[in-house]
Structure 1
Amino acid sequence: MVAGRRTIRFDDAGRRFNARVAGLALREGHLLIHRTVHEPFWTIPGGTAEIGEDSRATLIREMHEELGVEVSVGRLLFLVENFFHFEDRDWHEIGWYYLMKLPMTFPFYADRRIVHEIVDGKNRLEFRWVPATRSELERLPLPPVFLADWIERLPESTEHIIWDDGAL
């Protein structure tokens, strides 16, 4: 985080609140996912919002920082109240999940190989494309897991979802 910038995340008695923005990038029937290499699960690319920053600006900033590209932010698909346990604390996360379009210059391989890697602070992130199907997403550890139910029929208008993933 740059000096003067402050993320919308705080801790309280073993719990954490987080404001997260993520983007579903689709290409040729595939979805872009990423993970921090030391963690056993994948997620939708995105990051924590900052105070004074709207959610679309967060997604644009995060993708520029992580992918080095300018994305086009589409419609808001999901507003998610996500509850889960991770890293010895209970999380309450508000998540904005947008459709987003990557430039065609961003690498695409349908064979699940890593298409992009970056060190983000102390974490090494890797990105890959996977088939955007319910069966594929159900096979992955990809929280929040409700996404598998929706991936083949994305909503036409924003869906509000309250989800409890339990322990990660």
Structure 2
Amino acid sequence: MSKRTPIRLTQGAARFNYRIAGLGFRDGHVLVHRRARALLDLSGRSGEIGETSEETLKREMMEEFGLTVPVLRLLWIVENFFHYEQRDWHELGFYYLMEIPAEFPFQPHEIIHRVEDGDNHLQFKWVPATRAALTALDIPPYFIADEIENLPGAPRHLVWRDGNLDD
């Protein structure tokens, strides 16, 4: 296997990131993960040189779950501008709807899967797929709380600036 190279640029305190993420649902819940001592977040990673966004998502899910996770369709392409860990981020994100296989555990509100991913200790759990739940749990990117109960029927382009949506 050749060395993988994330698509990420850093200039001073600013960082550009190419992010690929997936939303998987079951019984009114969405799957999220937490890195050790970090925020809850959607499953995904930085895109990598030589892979399509869909290939990155499928590979990451195989690495994290040990399962083939079908990628159903693209939901959003997001230009996301935010401040995190003393950096100003400019992130280009591709967010997909994915199908979590039935054999993946489902116990709402509990940590149902753990995995070591390099220096990251990931913990996965199901949370209610509602605006109220995502807002209360402070799950970024924050535009998803407004969209979670009514997913777009076709890919949608969004610009999100630390709490403000520019359609």
| TM-score of the pair, normalised by structure 2 | 0.93
For 1:9-158, what aligned pairs fall within 5 Å after superposition?
A: 9-39=8-38, 41-110=39-108, 112-158=109-155
Secondary structure of the 2:41 match is coil
Secondary structure of the 2:42 match is coil
Secondary structure of the 1:45 match is strand
Q: Following the alignment from structure 2 to structure 1, what is the Cα–Cα distance between the partners of residues 25 and 12?
A: 39
Residue deviations 1:12-56 (CA, integer Å, cap 9, x gap)? 1221111110000001111000111211x2111011111110000
Checking the alignment, whether the CA contact within 8 Å between 1:143 and 1:165 is kept in structure 2 is no
Secondary structure of the 2:105 match is coil
Query: What percentage of residue pairs aligned between the two structures are identical?
Result: 52
Q: Following the alignment from structure 1 to structure 2, what is the Cα–Cα distance between the partners of residues 56 and 133?
A: 25
Structure 2 unaligned blocks of 5 or more: none
**Aligned residue type for 2:59:** R
| TM-score of the pair, normalised by structure 1 | 0.93
Residue deviations 1:44-71 (CA, integer Å, cap 9, x gap)? 1011111110000000011111122110
Runs of 4 or more off by more than 3 Å in structure 1?
A: none
1:5 maps to 2:14: no
